[in-house]
Amino acid sequence: MNNDVAVLGAGIVGVSTALHLQARGRSVVLVDRRGPGEETSYGNAGLIERSSVVPYAFPRNIRTLLRFALNRSSDVRYDWKHLPGIAPWLFQYWRHSSPRRLAEAARAMLPLIERCVSEHRPLLQEAGATHLARGTGWLDICRTPSDLASSRKAAEHLREYGLSYDVLDGWQLREMEPAVSPSIAGAIHWRDPVTVSSPGAVTKAYAELFLRRGGKFVRADARQLSQGNGHWSLPSEAGELRARDMVVALGAWSTDVAGPLGYRIPLAVKRGYHMHFSPAGGVSLSRPLVSDEGFVLSPMLDGIRLTTGVELAPRDAAPTPLQLDKAEAIARTLVSLGSRVEPEAWMGARPCLPDMKPVIGRAEKRPGLWFNFGHAHHGFTLGPVSGRLLAEQMTGETPAVDLAPFSAERF
């Protein structure tokens, strides 16, 4: 089990990294404790989000903060006992959400966001997964005329980024999506993003492409990683795995490996839930709907998927589906939903850094160690582009995007 590179993590980021390294002639083994695409890459809303040119910042509006403080909203909930432990991270998140620092983060992230669709497209084609992708964009739902006016104004502020969008009144919206309630005033239709009907299936298709091209996949516990004699070692179900280079792409579990190797990276977790619903009366959606209450309704192979906003709680704590229940109650006022498809909600963990940028690149303290994690809400969006950038750096190419803003040494 000797390889040039081992990639720890078989989510969209790890699989994409493995594919790009393989395309550059490296022998690569992909490592995970589960199958490809079975953690966060499975449960998201399936958006390749070309229109998210400004990162999700910590709110600075007093009314919004007070609403969140009551801990009753559907978009953000928190575990009181978790707050003392996460308070330093939240303070740093708040600091980096100042107008100046947010603008800096947006500038750094923009070259990645601009490439997200173009990097997914060839992989979708080569993996035989184009049937899972839709070029229909997504809808920002507005309940009232004043909400629609505010959303129109916000969209106009993004014109400099060259994004395509339409402003729909209620009649136009229901012509496009008959399942939407007549009480909704309208929507902004963002046309640049691509969405998929099963992000887990897309990730698995990319992994199968990697295997068809001669790559290997093994199950192992990445926390047993060790280094010595010029290579990395890891016991696996297939025997001892050895590699000259090791990529940590474990999402919310990345610091379980990076920490013991000397890296104190301030990674926090925003948990989220999803549930599938059968379409009421057989009328489904043709594109995702995004609500200002923090949830997304997205048409999937398994039904209409409701994905929640943010839950601040320990990564491994038991699920608390209160947020999902509240989001469902609101969602039913927006769209005709049938019954729940699954008996229990799915729960996942988004890996988030306080400056709203991932870690991509060389770990300077450890020869042969590389990082690719911390993509927050945009892991599925940015997996292929960040995989390409890291592979370019690892193989001596000049990355298409300056990776200095994403260095682990910034912490």
Residues 288 and 47 sit within 8 Å (Cβ to Cβ) = yes
Tokens of 332: 């039913």
- pLDDT of 166: 97
Tokens 């068809």 correspond to what residue?
212
Burial class (CB in 10 A: 0-12, 13-18, 19+), 280: middle
Side-chain half-sphere of 225: how many Cα atoms within 13 Å?
A: 27
- CA–CA distance from 179 to each of 60, 196, 376, 407 (Å)? 34, 19, 30, 45
Residues 36 and 7 sit within 8 Å (Cβ to Cβ) = no
DSSP state of 57: P
Q: What pLDDT digit, counting tens, does each position of 76-109 carry? A: 999 999 999 999 999 999 999 999 999 999 999 9
Q: What pLDDT digit, counting tens, does each position of 58-74 carry? A: 999 898 999 899 898 88
Domains of the chain: 1-57+97-132+196-267+353-411 (3.50.50.60)
Residues 112 and 105 sit within 8 Å (Cβ to Cβ) = no
Amino acid making up residue 289: L
**Calpha distance 117→106 (Å, rounded):** 18
Residues of the chain with pLDDT below 70 are none
Question: In degrees rounded to 5, what are phi and psi of residue 401?
Answer: -125, 140
Question: Under DSSP, is residue 10 helix (H, G, I), strand (E, B) or coil?
Answer: coil
- pLDDT of 72: 86
**Calpha distance 208→21 (Å, rounded):** 15
- pLDDT of 281: 83
Question: Under DSSP, is residue 258 helix (H, G, I), strand (E, B) or coil?
Answer: helix
Residues 305 and 276 sit within 8 Å (Cβ to Cβ) = yes
Q: What are the residue ranges of helices labelled H in 46-82?
A: 62-69
- pLDDT of 229: 86
**Calpha distance 262→385 (Å, rounded):** 27
Q: Please state the pTM of the whole predicted model.
A: 0.96
